[in-house]
Amino acid sequence: MSSHTVPTVEASEPTAYRMLIGGEWVEAADGRTLEVITPIDRHRVIATTPRAGAEDVDRAVAAARRAQRGWAALPFTERQGALLRIADDLEDAAEDLAALTALDTGNALRTQARPEALLLASAFRYFAGLAGELKGVTLPSGTDALSLTRRVPVGVVAGILPWNSPLMIAAFKLPAALVSGNAMILKAAEDAPTTILELARVCERHLPPGVLGVLTGYGPEVGQALVEHRGVDKVSFTGSTATGSGVAAAAGERLAHVSLELGGKSPCIVFPDSDTDEVVEQVLLATRFARQGQSCTSGSRLFLHESVHDSFLDRLVDRVSQLVVGDPREEATDIGCIINQRQWDRVQGYVDDALATDGIRVAYDGRPALTVGEPGFYHAPMILSQVDNGWRIAREEIFGPVLSVIPWREEDEVVAMANDSHYGLAAFVFARDLGMALRTAQRVESGWVQVNQGGGQQVGQSYGGMKASGQGREFSLEGMLEGFTQIQQINVRLT
Ligand code: NAD
């Protein structure tokens, strides 16, 4: 990014971005644009991007189709080399990308934005290392026959991204798709597109034109057009469950491949032997308060055993009250801004609804102590206790810094409550007794269960949800093979 000036909130002129199609940085075919504001200041337009439509999708798909065959035909070492060079450049650009993430998404630099930018570089390095694993097998069919399989790319893949952690979600999709010989067209979220455009600027230096495209604009316009386009072989979607369900229906209609990473309402279960400050730290990570709760894997339902309920909650409240809500660009800030007014109102709506519920207790309300506010979309963390697992705040994804605390007594009871959700993305189990912990971990219906830790995402782990939280896995060797390749069987008669 050295050749490009990263916009600052103080900049008077918004950065006028173009999107990437066929190796060219272009406007929308009809010239329309949309404005991007920063969550730090609702009045400040930091960028304009093209507002792409169906014609732009046609152009991007045609360019991707032209490029994909040649890309797939390269020896794997060449794709590997390209990914390694991208990883090097991303590492160099990490601090700039982190600063832009803070401005673009409102995610705090130290707790979120910087780790997201660094994860991106290591994901490219990791998947470069897997380039030689795209192997087929041979059947022992005797000397008169050769029976072999090849792992071939799916083709042109659309990667549809949300706004909450754009670089991290791109890291789940892009390097795996590229190394396995696909072309990818990313659709950046309209609320936070700038880091994805900067990522593309780094990647295009090392990729043949058309292998990566980036489109910007609104979901129902450019997103829908991508999903419906017959030249898109697969849609890899991350976003809300409601949108994902429509995407799956549209892709299914034309029998395109699809994978979905959707919402969550993840349980976080604390056993009686885990009433310690160390566990409080891990539970705090699990809440994803440091990302304003805007995380699909947020452990937003905290199940505390009744024997340690009050003591653990006191510790947690004490710790949460020390968190600094502030300008996401400041190193001292723990919690930045919610993405926009609509999400802020939505979070507040859940809070108002919860506070009007009989029997609820407010264990912590950070709002009176908040020192920041307008023009940024700041929301203090809240901990609500004595919540019933059937209440709306315990069933629906709030996507804000709001934690529901639910007491429990018996192991079977807490497992049943944890699983009484249409979601199944993540779960957290805290118990020193490892038998108990692992038994519980295996009984929870979630795609990703963490034991005695709250934030241990690793490059190379399988990532994805059960139930309405999604279909398919990403970020791992298996995710790459299953999600971005297909098997071709070849049988040869040798006589
Ligand atoms: P969203 O569903 O509103 O939008 C996601 C993306 O889909 C955006 O780029 C949007 O423009 C696009 N889109 C919207 N309508 C479309 C359509 N009709 N066709 C094609 N694309 C369309 O989600 P969001 O508000 O950006 O993100 C928040 C949601 O994402 C939360 O529910 C969260 O749980 C989920 N999420 C899931 C994961 C995961 O890995 N499971 C990760 C991050 C976020």
Alpha-carbon distance 227 to 233, whole Å? 9
> What DSSP line would sit under 358-387, residue for residue?
TT-EEEEE-GGG----TTS-----EEEES-
Pairing state of beta strands 156-160 and 234-238?
A: parallel
Using the mean position of ligand 1's atoms as its centre, give its distance from the Cα of residue 490 in Å.
39
Pocket test for ligand 1, best of 49, 104, 240 (most atoms within 8 A of CB): 240
- The backbone torsions φ and ψ at residue 106, rounded to the nearest 5 degrees and listed phi first, read 85, 5
For ligand 1, atom 9, the nearest C-alpha belongs to 189
Alpha-carbon distance 422 to 479, whole Å? 23
Buried b / exposed e over 213-238, threshold 16 CB at 10 Å, is bbbbbebebbbbbbbbbebbbbbbbb
Spell out the long-range contacts of 444-451 with Cβ–Cβ below 8 A and sequence spacing 24 or more. Answer: 444/267, 444/269, 444/415, 444/418, 444/419, 445/418, 445/419, 446/266, 446/267, 447/473, 448/297, 450/286, 450/426
Closest atom, ligand 1, to C-alpha of 161: 9
- The backbone torsions φ and ψ at residue 245, rounded to the nearest 5 degrees and listed phi first, read -65, -40
Pairing state of beta strands 145-153 and 448-451?
A: unpaired
Closest atom, ligand 1, to C-alpha of 240: 32
Beta strands per DSSP E along 227-357 = 234-238, 257-261, 267-270, 301-305
Single-letter code of the amino acid located at 259: S
Using the mean position of ligand 1's atoms as its centre, give its distance from the Cα of residue 125 in Å.
26
What pLDDT is attached to residue 416? 98
Q: How does pLDDT run across 243-269, given as a tens digit for each residue?
A: 999 999 999 999 999 999 999 999 999
Token pair recorded at residue 454: 């709250």
Contact 271, 306 (CB under 8 A): no
Non-local (6+) Cβ contacts of 31 within 8 A are: none
Pocket test for ligand 1, best of 296, 422, 461 (most atoms within 8 A of CB): 296
The helix (H) or strand (E) run that includes residue 260 is: strand 257-261
Within 10 angstroms of residue 405's Cβ, the number of other Cβ atoms is: 24
Closest atom, ligand 1, to C-alpha of 217: 11
Closest atom, ligand 1, to C-alpha of 162: 26
Question: pTM (2 decimals)?
Answer: 0.97
Q: How does pLDDT run across 385-428, given as a tens digit for each residue?
A: 999 999 999 999 999 999 999 999 999 999 999 999 999 999 99
What pLDDT is attached to residue 10? 62
Using the mean position of ligand 1's atoms as its centre, give its distance from the Cα of residue 126 in Å.
26
Q: Extract the residue ranges of the chain whose pLDDT is less than 50.
A: 1-7
Alpha-carbon distance 378 to 106, whole Å? 9
Using the mean position of ligand 1's atoms as its centre, give its distance from the Cα of residue 488 in Å.
32
Assign residue 397 a region: left if phi > 0, alpha if psi is -120 to 50, beta otherwise?
Answer: beta
CB hemisphere CA count around 404 (13 angstroms): 32
Closest atom, ligand 1, to C-alpha of 465: 41
Assign residue 444 a region: left if phi > 0, alpha if psi is -120 to 50, beta otherwise?
Answer: beta
For ligand 1, atom 10, the nearest C-alpha belongs to 219
Single-letter code of the amino acid located at 181: G
Show the ligand 1 pocket: residues with CB < 6 angstroms. Answer: 160-164, 169, 187, 189-190, 219-220, 223-224, 227, 238-240, 243, 246-247, 261-264, 296, 397, 399, 425, 465, 470
Pocket test for ligand 1, best of 51, 105, 164, 473 (most atoms within 8 A of CB): 164
Cis amide prior to 162 (ω within 30 degrees): no
Closest atom, ligand 1, to C-alpha of 226: 20
Single-letter code of the amino acid located at 34: L
Alpha-carbon distance 470 to 261, whole Å? 5
Report helix, strand or coil for 309.
Answer: helix
Length of the chain: 495
- The backbone torsions φ and ψ at residue 3, rounded to the nearest 5 degrees and listed phi first, read -80, 0
Rounded to the nearest 10 degrees, the angle between the axes of helix 194-204 and helix 166-179 is 30
Alpha-carbon distance 381 to 350, whole Å? 13
Alpha-carbon distance 469 to 293, whole Å? 17
For ligand 1, atom 37, the nearest C-alpha belongs to 262
* Residues identified as active-site: 261
Closest atom, ligand 1, to C-alpha of 239: 30
Using the mean position of ligand 1's atoms as its centre, give its distance from the Cα of residue 162 in Å.
4
Q: What is the dihedral of CA 363, 368, 454, 168, to 10 degrees?
A: 150
Single-letter code of the amino acid located at 22: G
For ligand 1, atom 13, the nearest C-alpha belongs to 219
Alpha-carbon distance 384 to 101, whole Å? 30
Alpha-carbon distance 210 to 84, whole Å? 19
Report helix, strand or coil for 332.
Answer: coil
Q: What is the CA radius of gyration of the chain?
A: 23
For ligand 1, atom 11, the nearest C-alpha belongs to 219
Report helix, strand or coil for 467.
Answer: strand
Q: Rounded to 5 degrees, what angle do the CA atoms 400, 311, 294 make?
A: 10
- Structural domains in the chain, sorted by start: 15-262 (3.40.605.10), 267-458 (3.40.309.10)
For ligand 1, atom 43, the nearest C-alpha belongs to 296
Using the mean position of ligand 1's atoms as its centre, give its distance from the Cα of residue 160 in Å.
8
Pocket test for ligand 1, best of 186, 238, 288, 341 (most atoms within 8 A of CB): 238
Whole-Å CA distances, 237 to 52, 223, 283, 470, 473: 18, 10, 28, 9, 11
What letter does residue 291 receive in the DSSP assignment? G
Report helix, strand or coil for 337.
Answer: coil
Using the mean position of ligand 1's atoms as its centre, give its distance from the Cα of residue 161 in Å.
6
